[in-house]
Amino acid sequence: MGMAASQARLLTLTSRLHDVEYKAQNIESQKIALATQKDELYQNYCDALDAKKIQVAFNNGDGSRNFVDATFATMCTYNEDRFKQYSLKDANTGKVIVDSNTFEMYKDFNTDKYAFAYAMIGMDADFGWPVDNDDGRYTMGMEIGIGVSGEDYGDGQSANGLFNLFMTDVERKVFDNHSTEDKLKKAYDNLTETCNSESANDVEKREALENFRDVLYDNYGSEIYKYMRLNKNEVTNTDPESANAEFNDEYPEEFPKGEFNYYVHLFEEIQAAGGCQEIDPQYEAGSEGNEWLNNMVNSGRVIIDVYNEDKKEWSETSVATSTNANYLQEVQDEADMKKAEAEYEHELDIINRKDTKFDQDLSKLETERTSITTEVESIQKVRDDNIERTFGIFS
């Protein structure tokens, strides 16, 4: 091979060698990226294994606990088998998160917790009594929300403003039936004294009113319910104890005290929070609901409140503060864990196959590089020998 041909061949081989080295560097970079992906995949897998879901306790019927996945539906709708009453609050707005029905009912009945509770158990349609005779209008008196016009405090002296309207028609009837009984009389006397006092402010009047109605409902809620069940299409049908009393069979015969009180407590929570806001229906129940609740609680965007039956108050709670994990708990999601494991193995297999392919490509490139290097060295040796021989001739 002549000098010119040798030089041309060397240039070609050098170009090929550079191309091989560039391809090898590119593959090495991709292998580094794969290693990073593998680390991230493993970390995500570990996170998935560590992830837990919130569960809430229900009564199996024998006092034992059955934990179910916590969603808005399982935590924040009425269920007599759940051990505790919970609410969810938006940490940003401070408002209670409710479903669309509760939201609409609160808009309509936001001045009276008992009217709200009756509306929530489906009796809002019977708040009116379509007769002209006031003696027959034993209704919830929804014109103002906490009473009906024309009521006074029994002494002929009506208080000014809102507080002269302190009983609905039904409540007045039941009160008249029991007005001499000690608990009720004491609460009523305190109400009349406070509301007719020139020194009492609106807050004190409101507290006296709420105390009176609480005593009335705590002691005679079942009787009030009987009047509410009366068939309001009958003008003379005003006494639930009469032989010819007719009731609306749409409503259960027994007063649903647990459910009624549940909504009374919910109203108090909403009032204290300054209102309520609707939850997106897609997050109310099911796996999406459980994922939403866990994410929102764990990120601090949603707060869980629980009602204490003994203290008669709401307070913030969490899985960590739930006594001995009796009512709320966090557990590993077996289904999610298996899903995470399957996804990890699938993605890891893809990465490993890519990595193996890169190793094979690198091996081929190394073989090619060795071959090129050997040929270059051979040509260079021939060239050097030719140069040395030529110098020998001329010298």
- Among 20-24, 95-99, 144-148, 358-362, the range scoring the smallest mean pLDDT is 144-148
Checking if the pLDDT of 213 tops 60, the result is: yes
Percentage of residues of the chain with pLDDT beyond 90: 36
Q: How far apart are CA 189 and CA 304, in angstroms?
A: 39
Residue 43 has a pLDDT of 79
Burial 265-275 (b: 16+ CB within 10 A, else e): bbbbbbbebee
Tell me the average pLDDT across 365-389. 78
**Cα-based distances in Å from 86 to 64, 118, 307, 327:** 19, 20, 6, 11
- Give the contacts of 225 (CB within 8 A, at least 6 positions apart): 255, 260
Checking if the pLDDT of 88 tops 50, the result is: yes
Confidence of residue 178 (pLDDT cuts 50, 70, 90): very high
Residue 152 has a pLDDT of 37
Residue 307 has a pLDDT of 96
* Pairwise pLDDT comparison (135 vs 387), residue with the higher score: 387
Question: Is the pTM here over 0.75, yes or no?
Answer: no
Confidence of residue 385 (pLDDT cuts 50, 70, 90): low
Confidence of residue 229 (pLDDT cuts 50, 70, 90): confident
Q: Using an 8 Å Cβ cutoff, are 153 and 206 in contact?
A: no
Percentage of residues of the chain with pLDDT beyond 70: 79
Reference 275, options 144, 107, 116; nearest CA is: 107
Residue 127 has a pLDDT of 60
- Among 43-52, 225-234, 338-347, the range scoring the smallest mean pLDDT is 43-52
